[in-house]
Amino acid sequence: MKKHYRWLLFDADGTLFDYARAETTSLRNTFRLLSLPFEEKHLDVYQRINHDLWQAFERNEVTQDALRVRRFEMLLESLQLSGSPDQMSTIYVEQLGLCTHLIEGAYELLQTLHTKSRLAIVTNGLESVQRSRFARSTIRHFISELIISEEIGAAKPQAAFFDITFSRLGHPPREDVLIIGDSLSSDIKGGLDYGIDTCWFNPMRAPRPDDLPITYEIRHLRELLDVLSWGGQVV
């Protein structure tokens, strides 16, 4: 059954913004600007390190400040390269903030939805990256709220993140809110634990976990239109 939601909460990286493309471009540029040799395998090493650290961040085991530098300490050590992790981090974050490439269909989806529901972006990404990218993006005028974990002092999937988010939204009923994201651990589990409906964006067709009662699952962003109704008034 189709349902109308007053608020749609979108994750940023990997859901609206093409993070894989941005990550590749930014890492290449960082190595180039530091005059370091770059090989394709370097990207694989970085992605493994970065993924593990972000997972640790979601578990509240590492801070974002530590994460942003630690990943480059580990990368340089793994590649046996000399350099400054702090300088590498600064350049990489600057480069990432310049990348505004969208997931296929994101612009058209938000263009349609913003006249039917209120839209927010809820992200665990770094403040400087998200603010820089959002200011340059073509979707910024569709978004009513941009909620960034680093700014509010809590991260998905923590309940505190959703408490602050709902405060920013004006405390809507939970049944009026849907979260859409690609991360099972932060977006989907966070939404389920908070008691709101969830939509898993799963373009890679990963197996659906048995222990998460996901409300909707889509493989292309345009499929979200198939599960939403246009009833009610946009406020």
* Domains of the chain by start residue, with CATH: 7-17+102-226 (3.40.50.1000), 19-96 (1.10.150.240)
Nearest to 222 by CA among 111, 101, 121, 141: 111
What pLDDT is recorded for position 232? 44
What pLDDT is recorded for position 154? 94
Would you say the pTM of this structure is higher than 0.75?
yes
- pLDDT tens track for 202-218: 999 999 999 999 999 99
Active site residues per annotation: 11
- pLDDT tens track for 108-131: 999 999 999 999 999 998 999 999
Supply the DSSP string of 33-102, one letter for each residue.
HTT----HHHHHHHHHHHHHHHHHHHTTSS-HHHHHHHHHHHHHHHHT----HHHHHHHHHHHHTT--PB
Percent of the chain with pLDDT over 70: 97
Q: How far apart are CA 230 and CA 215, in angstroms?
A: 18
Q: How far apart are CA 12 and CA 40, in angstroms?
A: 25
The residue-averaged pLDDT of 25-47 equals 95
- pLDDT tens track for 176-193: 999 999 999 999 999 999
pLDDT interval class at 1 (50, 70, 90): confident
pLDDT reading at 231 higher than 90: no
